[in-house]
Amino acid sequence: MEIEKIFNTVKILFTGLGTSIEIFIITLILSIPLGIFVAVLKNSKNKIISLIIKLYILIIRGTPMMLQIIFVYFAPYYLFKVSYDRFTAIIIAFVINYAAYFSEIFRSGINNISKGQYEASYTLGFNKCQTFLLIVLPQVIKKILPASSNEVISLIKTTSLAQIIGISEMFSLAQKQSSYSFSIFPLIVSAGYYLILVFIISLIFNKCEKKLDYYTM
């Protein structure tokens, strides 16, 4: 390939990379707090609330992400004659999906905290909210970092599914460029971008784990 064509391909895919990162960041910002909330609700003593959350998690984990994206985008129109833009739809679909998975990770971490931690905090005068935020959550974060890193890495790669409803993220642009040029070079470039992102994410999580090494259960 000519140098100019190579440069143009890298430039075009870099534009798509921006969209992929935007989906990734917004999904993380929204799905992690929602995942914590869902985890708390699943542990609720109210059986109805707990059952609803279990059903939600079952549906999300039991159906393909592709189907969920299509449903979120098209269902409101067919059911209520309400439509919204593609980017909003993909964010909603991703947040709903990853909140379910993050909730299971957080729930596992919360359930691994001994009851003595709660009793000790209540003895010190903390209420339930303070106990969770100041005592339980920091310990949970340390416990769930490895599992969370896997989900976060999965998320950056799953952004490629945004093309299902016509969003021009990086991988969809790579496919188009590959078809136009009859070359796999655009796909190789996109693979390189993904590898760089995964490397950066892995590095961040490794540093976080090292910083939390001082804290032992």
209 versus 174: the higher-pLDDT residue is 174
Give domain status of residue 42, yes or no: yes
Query: Does residue 161 fall inside a structural domain?
Result: yes
Tell me how far the alpha carbon of residue 57 is from its chain's centroid.
Answer: 15
Structural domain total, the chain: 1
Tokens of 203: 């590095």
Cβ atoms of residues 97 and 162 within 8 Å: no
Domain annotation covers residue 217: no
How far apart CA 77 and CA 12 sit, in angstroms, is 33
Cβ pair 181, 9 in contact under 8 A = yes
**Cβ neighbour number for residue 123 with a 10 Å cutoff:** 8
End-to-end CA distance of the chain: 56
Question: pLDDT band at 214, cuts 50/70/90?
Answer: low
Indicate which CATH number applies to the domain containing 190.
1.10.3720.10
Count other Cβ atoms within 10 Å, centred on residue 99. Answer: 24
Residue 138 lies in a domain: yes
Residue-wise pLDDT for 77-111, tens only, equals 888 888 888 999 999 999 999 999 999 998 888 78
Q: Which percentage of the chain shows pLDDT scores above 90?
A: 49
The answer to whether residue 216 sits within a structural domain is: no
Task: List the domain range (segments joined by +) for residue 125.
Answer: 3-211
Q: Looking at the predicted structure, is the pLDDT value of residue 8 above 90?
A: no
- On the CB side of 81, how many CA atoms lie within 13 Å of its CA? 0
Ranking 14-28, 30-44, 56-70, 120-134 by mean pLDDT, the lowest is 120-134
Give me the percent of the chain exceeding a pLDDT of 70: 97
Res. 10 pLDDT band, cuts 50 70 90:
confident
Return the pLDDT at 7.
Answer: 82
Largest Cα–Cα separation, the chain: 72
Nearest to 73 by CA among 145, 163, 165: 165
Is residue 32 in some structural domain? yes
Residues 6+ away with beta carbon under 8 Å from 202: 149, 153
Residues in the chain, overall count: 217
Q: Is residue 38 part of a domain?
A: yes
Instruction: Encode pLDDT of 57-85 as tens digits.
Output: 999 999 999 999 999 999 998 888 888 88
pLDDT tens digits, one per residue of 133-181: 777 777 778 788 888 889 999 999 999 999 999 898 898 889 888 888 7
Confidence (pLDDT) at 57: 95
Nearest-angstrom CA–CA distance, 125 and 117: 13
Query: What's the pLDDT band for 217 if we cut at 50, 70, 90?
Result: very low
Q: Which residue has the higher pLDDT, 9 or 67?
A: 67
